[in-house]
Chains A and B, each alone.
Chain A
Amino acid sequence: MSAAVVSLNDAEDEAMNPHVTEAEPEAASRPAAMKFAYASGSRPLEGYTLKRGIGRGGFGEVYFAVSDAGKEVALKLIRRNLDVELRGVTQCLNLKHPNLLSLFDIKQDERGDNWVVMEYVAGDSLEALVERNPDGVPENEVLAWFQGIAAGVCYLHDHGIVHRDLKPGNIFSDEGIVKIGDYGLSKFISASRRSGQTESVGTVHYMAPEISNGRYGKEIDIYALGIILYEMLTGHVPFEGESVGEVLMKHLTAEPNLEGVAEPYRSAIAKTLTKDPEARIRTVGELLTLLPVPTIGTVGNVHKGVGRPAAGAMDAEAVRTNESAAAEARGTSDVIPVAALPEEPIWRAVRTSWHSFTRQWDSGGIPVIAKGIIILGGIYGVLAYFGPLFLVAMAALPIYAVYCIVRVLVLDRAAAPIKTAPIKTAPIETAPIKRRPPVFTAAFAAKLPARPAPNAAPARPSPALTPPRQRAAHGAPAARKIMRQRIEELTGSLLASTAVAAIMSLFMSVVHANTLEPGRFAWLLLVSTLGAWLVLIPGKFWEGRHGEPTLRRLVLMVFGLALGAVAWGLKDFLFVSLHADWRLPPPVTEAYVSSRFYEPDGSPSLLALMAYFASLMFLVGWWKQADPGRGARLRLSPVLVAIFWGWLLSFFWPFPQPWGTMVAASMSLAVQLAATWQHPRRKGAV
């Protein structure tokens, strides 16, 4: 195998520095992104005229060519051929499947180079489709493509061939039929990848972890299928990185983040991306049974691809491999997962823990005496701490209600475009395409009305000096997050910030303010929680985007005004007296505006609280503390800055210290600990 590695790299080097002969006078000799050894019109291989270069793979170059009789083919140039390489292709020459790119022949030119004569595919590659849909390909299209891909891979596996190089760049659609290319050769390319020298980062995105041990079973194709499915649904691969090594390391160690993927895809992908090949899904058919089934065979019908039994979509044999999973797939296939509003996490936690509690309670595992003690203790606890418990409940319920409303509103908004946009049910011409059970037909027609310019690649903002895939992966990972993912992260952060604020409030109440008066604690908790939320919510929508800092400060200032008003209202609602020792030191502005800043009883007025919080929100660059790209999850300096401003502001606006600084500190800690944070070494991962 190592011999193959070395010689392949040599072949590539040579392909990059083509030798110019009389036959190809136009050929330029500098390596570049889209330079080809042979120019249009040259005839290196008898009987074929090259028209243009199509692309370059790990093996060499591919050209579009026309035979003398007019047959259009793709010609793949393999230089410095080794017998082993050719054996790989020869083995595949007579495979027949509608989802495999046909190999016609292998021919040798006068210089001894071998050319693989292949079917020419005019349609887009899956890679182009994914690039056009950076937030994920519409679900029906995903299913239609994936059925075709799976059928082709299943056929290869049935014939004892492992593809080894499945990736969107190798998968095409031609007149609505999925075509998998590059099989046969890929065995040797995969091997050469391990050197990491000649390949771009993009090609290792689909490599199963066991490849590092030299293990090349069918499982690596299953793994690649999982990555491809993930990429189609989300628009990006699960493991991204700046270098080949980083990506490989993630394949070996990191768990994929499946939060942005709905069921049943999530569990199906999880089962394909298992690190241990033994634990992975064994066959393509098994994987398919976990997925909803699109309407295949009815050409041009791109309505919701659901509700059809799984049999027939694949080789019957493959489907039969897991009857129970097939039944499960049928059961879930009526659901369009993306559209469903997921259950609210707090409620789910409460519900499941209550269920497990009652189950445990009823299971008889707990002795009667213990049950009695628990009940008595519970009653005593409720009676003894009724006041504080009631207060906490009263405080928690409004927060929960607001949280629920925001969540429903935002999730609804986020889900709507996902649900409706992709499915275009424009009348589609039913070209006379025969029923081909395992092939992909509908999606090609489906995507055309939506995209008038199939040849128009998406605009790229910067000069294309890096390969497009790489740039797409690393350009602005956060900005590419889909709305749904943001919402999910945000709800998580909001919950976490509440917990952190609760702990900090308790801690500071006891240690700093030397009191455990429930009202004050509740006030501190609510104000710092709300403050943290008011930072986290805009911060989540600002992350990964460039914005005018002053504008952000102003927005936060407006939120600060609201926060001040709420703090004032809560103070009254909770009967908290905040007038203790607040006059020390006396505010600098006291002489001018004291009457407006103090209530008759000496506590700060609504105006003072609003001014205080507005200034605090304006002065501290809060969104930076919520930025996932911040240096560390929790840094001390922002907390100190927040405390400093809180302290400094109390010279200007009356605020009962230490409560003002405590709110600032609690907010800062809650924001930092709760906001999503990307480990710098994993920044590529979204």
Chain B
Amino acid sequence: MDKRTNLYSPSPHPARGLARPIDRFVLWVDGVGGYLVCTRDEVLIGQPLPEAEADVPILGDLSRRHAKIRRDGEAYLIEPRRPVRLDGRAIDRPAGLADGVSIELGNVRLRFRRPHPLSATARLDFISNHRTQPSADGLLLMAESCVLGPGAQNHIACGNWSRDLILYRQADDLYCRRDGRFQIDGRTVAENGKLSLKSCVSGEDFSLSIERLSK
């Protein structure tokens, strides 16, 4: 609906103006942290100004629209719109992101992680003392699925949990899967269930909830 953003977003995937609620939400994991989750194949990193419309708004000395990170199947590319350095080297054209690479945008430094071998979901960790707005402990670029659990290879490492929980997308909906019974919004479900963007999921040793981000 907005031509301007369409121009600016050449990907065939849903344009910014048609943003679905599932595109961005915050995952609050009790006892672990809060995570800003972006599900689109293309996210814009920039300043937290309303007109910037950044998917990942960072309170730092960077441009309003500093760079885009695009997921192409299993691979991730970064498209600089302002000076970007990867592991200290300046890039002037789209470049691939490998697990562990550090990304410098202005004075903001992030580390790109692809922790789980079976999922294309990536995570951005802050190296510099910056933060997103609204505040989150981490950033997830979620592909089809995202694993939460005790292992360090998980996208969100939840040390005290007894087993993994998987969030996954089907069409425009979000689901969650975990062995055994657990509750979604007070209802008991077995193995898996569909989530809304204000769902609360809890089990014998965990609880998490989803907060919809108003655009």
- Which B residues are in CB contact (< 8 Å) with A445? 129
Contact pick for B31, options A41, A55, A176, A460, CB 8 Å: A55
Beta-carbon contact of A458 and B156 below 8 Å: no
Interface residues as binary, A509-547 with B (CB distance below 8 Å gives 1, 0 otherwise): 000000000000000000000000000000000000000
Beta-carbon contact of A452 and B28 below 8 Å: no
- Distance in Å: Cβ of B181 to nearest Cβ of chain A: 12
Beta-carbon contact of A40 and B186 below 8 Å: no
Beta-carbon contact of B186 and A25 below 8 Å: yes
Beta-carbon contact of A464 and B153 below 8 Å: no
B209 within 8 A of A: yes
- Which A residues are in CB contact (< 8 Å) with B126? 454
Beta-carbon contact of B34 and A64 below 8 Å: yes
Nearest CB in chain A to that of B159: its residue: A457
Q: Which of B4-12, B38-46, B166-174, B200-208 contacts A (4 or more CB under 8 A)?
A: B200-208
A468 within 8 A of B: yes
B86 within 8 A of A: no
In the complex, number of A-B residue pairs with CB atoms less than 8 Å apart: 128
A362 within 8 A of B: no
Beta-carbon contact of B163 and A30 below 8 Å: no
- Which A residues are in CB contact (< 8 Å) with B100? 452
- Which A residues are in CB contact (< 8 Å) with B160? 33-34, 464, 468
> In the complex where A34-B31, A52-B29, A54-B31 touch, is A468 in contact with B207 (Cβ < 8 A)?
no
Beta-carbon contact of B152 and A453 below 8 Å: yes
B68 within 8 A of A: no
CA distance A25 to B183 in the complex (A): 12
> In the complex where A429-B107, A448-B127 touch, is A40 in contact with B211 (Cβ < 8 A)?
yes
A258 within 8 A of B: no
B57 within 8 A of A: no
Give residues 12-54 of A contacting B (CB, 8 Å): 25-26, 28, 30, 32-36, 39-41, 51-54
Beta-carbon contact of B34 and A457 below 8 Å: no
Chain A contact residues (Cβ within 8 angstroms of B): what range? Answer: 35 or more
Give residues 85-118 of B contacting A (CB, 8 Å): 100, 107, 109, 111, 113, 115
CA distance A410 to B150 in the complex (A): 36
Beta-carbon contact of A40 and B200 below 8 Å: yes
A590 within 8 A of B: no
CA distance A555 to B22 in the complex (A): 60
Beta-carbon contact of B211 and A51 below 8 Å: yes
Nearest CB in chain A to that of B29: its residue: A52
Nearest CB in chain A to that of B152: its residue: A459
- Distance in Å: Cβ of B2 to nearest Cβ of chain A: 27
CA distance A458 to B159 in the complex (A): 7
CA distance A445 to B135 in the complex (A): 20
Beta-carbon contact of A53 and B30 below 8 Å: yes
Beta-carbon contact of A429 and B128 below 8 Å: yes
Beta-carbon contact of A41 and B209 below 8 Å: yes
CA distance A449 to B126 in the complex (A): 10
A402 within 8 A of B: no
- Distance in Å: Cβ of B102 to nearest Cβ of chain A: 8
- Distance in Å: Cβ of A487 to nearest Cβ of chain B: 29
> In the complex where A455-B156, A468-B159 touch, is A460 in contact with B207 (Cβ < 8 A)?
no
Interface residues as binary, A59-98 with B (CB distance below 8 Å gives 1, 0 otherwise): 0000010100010100000000000000000000000000
CA distance A66 to B198 in the complex (A): 17
- Distance in Å: Cβ of B121 to nearest Cβ of chain A: 14
> In the complex where A40-B28, A429-B107, A455-B125 touch, is A464 in contact with B205 (Cβ < 8 A)?
yes
Beta-carbon contact of A458 and B135 below 8 Å: no
CA distance A33 to B206 in the complex (A): 7
> In the complex where A33-B160, A455-B157, A456-B152 touch, is A53 in contact with B31 (Cβ < 8 A)?
yes
> In the complex where A34-B206, A455-B156 touch, is A52 in contact with B163 (Cβ < 8 A)?
no
CA distance A465 to B115 in the complex (A): 25
- Which A residues are in CB contact (< 8 Å) with B137? 122, 455
Contact pick for A39, options B34, B123, B125, B207, CB 8 Å: B207
- Which A residues are in CB contact (< 8 Å) with B156? 455
Beta-carbon contact of B33 and A455 below 8 Å: yes
- Which B residues are in CB contact (< 8 Å) with A600? none
> In the complex where A35-B30, A40-B211, A51-B211 touch, is A175 in contact with B129 (Cβ < 8 A)?
yes
A367 within 8 A of B: no
- Which B residues are in CB contact (< 8 Å) with A30? 204
B191 within 8 A of A: no
Nearest CB in chain A to that of B182: its residue: A28
Beta-carbon contact of B138 and A455 below 8 Å: yes
> In the complex where A41-B211, A429-B107, A464-B159 touch, is A34 in contact with B30 (Cβ < 8 A)?
yes
CA distance A326 to B169 in the complex (A): 62
> In the complex where A429-B107, A464-B150 touch, is A28 in contact with B34 (Cβ < 8 A)?
no
B144 within 8 A of A: no
- Distance in Å: Cβ of B36 to nearest Cβ of chain A: 12
Beta-carbon contact of A463 and B162 below 8 Å: yes
A431 within 8 A of B: yes
Interface residues as binary, B181-215 with A (CB distance below 8 Å gives 1, 0 otherwise): 00101100000000000101010111101010000
- Distance in Å: Cβ of B133 to nearest Cβ of chain A: 9
Beta-carbon contact of A459 and B202 below 8 Å: no
Beta-carbon contact of B157 and A52 below 8 Å: no
Beta-carbon contact of A33 and B157 below 8 Å: no
B16 within 8 A of A: no
Nearest CB in chain A to that of B130: its residue: A431
- Which B residues are in CB contact (< 8 Å) with A453? 111, 113, 115, 123, 125, 152, 157
Nearest CB in chain B to that of A28: its residue: B202
Contact pick for A52, options B30, B111, B134, B152, CB 8 Å: B30
- Distance in Å: Cβ of A50 to nearest Cβ of chain B: 9
- Which B residues are in CB contact (< 8 Å) with A464? 150, 159-162, 205
B158 within 8 A of A: yes
> In the complex where A26-B185, A122-B137, A457-B152 touch, is A52 in contact with B115 (Cβ < 8 A)?
no
Instruction: List 12 A–B pairs whose Cβ atoms lie within 8 Å, in order of A's numbering.
Output: A26-B200, A30-B204, A34-B206, A40-B200, A41-B209, A51-B26, A52-B33, A452-B100, A455-B125, A456-B157, A463-B162, A464-B160
Given contacts A52-B33, A66-B134, 11 further A-B contacts (CB under 8 A): A32-B205, A33-B205, A34-B206, A35-B207, A40-B209, A41-B200, A452-B125, A455-B33, A455-B138, A457-B157, A464-B160
Residues of B within 8 A of A (CB): 26, 28-34, 100, 107, 109, 111, 113, 115, 123, 125-129, 131, 134-135, 137-138, 150-154, 156-163, 183, 185-186, 198, 200, 202, 204-207, 209, 211
Nearest 3 CB-CB pairs, A to B?
A: A457-B159, A40-B209, A34-B31
